[in-house]
């Protein structure tokens, strides 16, 4: 089982992110379960959504407390202790930031992780460029697919198209591809970290 926890702020689309992730997994004939953290969600408040992916039916319903991957939509959440809670020692972290990982002041949390498991994608910038709005989901999912290998990029693209048919979806797919390519380049290169 591969468990992803998405952290963001109310209005940034954590639930949509988890939903698209689950659809992408479904399109690869896997089982997936996505659900929000069930708060009384307010714009701007820290919120979470969860996605489990497995080769068999997923029966447990508890929130994800031991994630294999974190997707952090808003870098202001990096300094909340709860954001990092339970992350596996072999876990992956995808952060929405145009800055290098080493500039984010999170070494206490990432020190034990393999270097190539932590990646900062300039998702907001990519969204503004391709979509015209600061919606980081697509780019972050593209980066997650590249860094973790939990999904193929084509599945992520199909999930985005499923959720947002038409032009909006195609623009988001461009953002996902761009972030995916950045992550692939960074993985191939000497150090990981986006310098957009």
Contacts to other proteins by CB under 8 A = 15, 18-19, 22-23, 25-27, 31-36, 38, 40, 57-63, 65
Q: How far is the CB of 23 from other proteins (least distance, A)?
A: 5
Nearest CB to other proteins, comparing residues 159 and 182: 159
Nearest CB to other proteins, comparing residues 38 and 80: 38
Q: How far is the CB of 34 from other proteins (least distance, A)?
A: 4
Nearest CB to other proteins, comparing residues 63 and 191: 63
Q: How far is the CB of 61 from other proteins (least distance, A)?
A: 5
Nearest CB to other proteins, comparing residues 59 and 111: 59
For Cα atoms 87, 91, 97, give the angle at the middle one, nearest 5 degrees: 90
Q: How far is the CB of 26 from other proteins (least distance, A)?
A: 4
d(CA 14, CA 33): 14
CA–CA distances in Å: residue 128 to residues 5, 97, 115, 122, 124:
24, 13, 28, 10, 6
């Amino acid at each position: 089982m591969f468990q992803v926890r998405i952290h963001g702020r109310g209005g940034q689309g954590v639930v949509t992110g988890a939903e698209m992730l689950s659809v992408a997994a479904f399109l690869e004939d896997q089982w997936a379960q996505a659900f929000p953290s069930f708060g009384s969600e307010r714009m701007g408040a820290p919120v979470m959504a969860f996605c489990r992916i497995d080769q068999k039916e997923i029966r447990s319903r508890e929130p994800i407390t031991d994630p294999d991957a974190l997707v952090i939509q808003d870098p202001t959440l990096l300094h909340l202790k709860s954001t990092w809670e339970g992350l596996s020692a072999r876990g992956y972290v995808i952060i929405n930031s145009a800055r290098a990982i080493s500039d984010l002041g999170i070494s206490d949390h990432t020190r034990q992780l393999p270097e190539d498991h932590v990646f900062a994608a300039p998702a907001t910038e990519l969204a503004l460029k391709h979509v015209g709005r600061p919606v980081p989901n697509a780019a972050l999912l593209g980066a997650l697919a590249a860094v973790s290998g939990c999904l193929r990029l084509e599945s992520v693209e199909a999930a985005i198209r499923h959720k947002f048919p038409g032009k909006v979806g195609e623009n988001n797919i461009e953002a996902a591809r761009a972030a995916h390519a950045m992550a692939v380049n960074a993985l191939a290169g000497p150090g990981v970290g986006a310098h957009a």
